[in-house]
Amino acid sequence: MNKDISEYMIEAIKLSINNVVEGKGGPFGAVVVKDGIIIARGVNRVTATNDPTAHAEVIAIREACTILNTFQLSGCEIYTSCEPCPMCLGAIYWARPDKLFYANSKQDAASINFDDQFIYDEIGKPLNQRKLFTQQILREEALIAFTKWKESSNKIEY
């Protein structure tokens, strides 16, 4: 294994361990690397911030995008101490890094009660079979924004 790769992962793992030891949140850490340099770090801050989206990967992505002044992380790599949950995986795909590396598996996470399998299962179900009541309303009113976006010459596509 490339020594640099393992060094970046070791940093993500250290962040996850320290987060637990310091009592700041769940056992998850992530780093974003660009041109061989760690430019952003994140740890799970869900309980510390009362923000269910404050996962390590999301925090690291937000920090990296701020530092790079961009909404995409092309040319970057993400190292995370655990296989990303569905939300984080979606955020990673939207951020468009070149590579993703992880240490613990989603099965490892499930073994300590961080089990996201129900989300994977729910996503594949028709809306009327999901546990979360979901109903589409006011589509025609909402389509106005989409029409304006489509017609706008003042937009940055992504």
Alpha carbon 31 to chain centroid, angstroms: 11
Q: Which of 116, 43, 40, 27 is nearest to 78 (CA)?
A: 40
Q: How far apart are CA 71 and CA 33, in angstroms?
A: 15
Cite the active site residues. 57
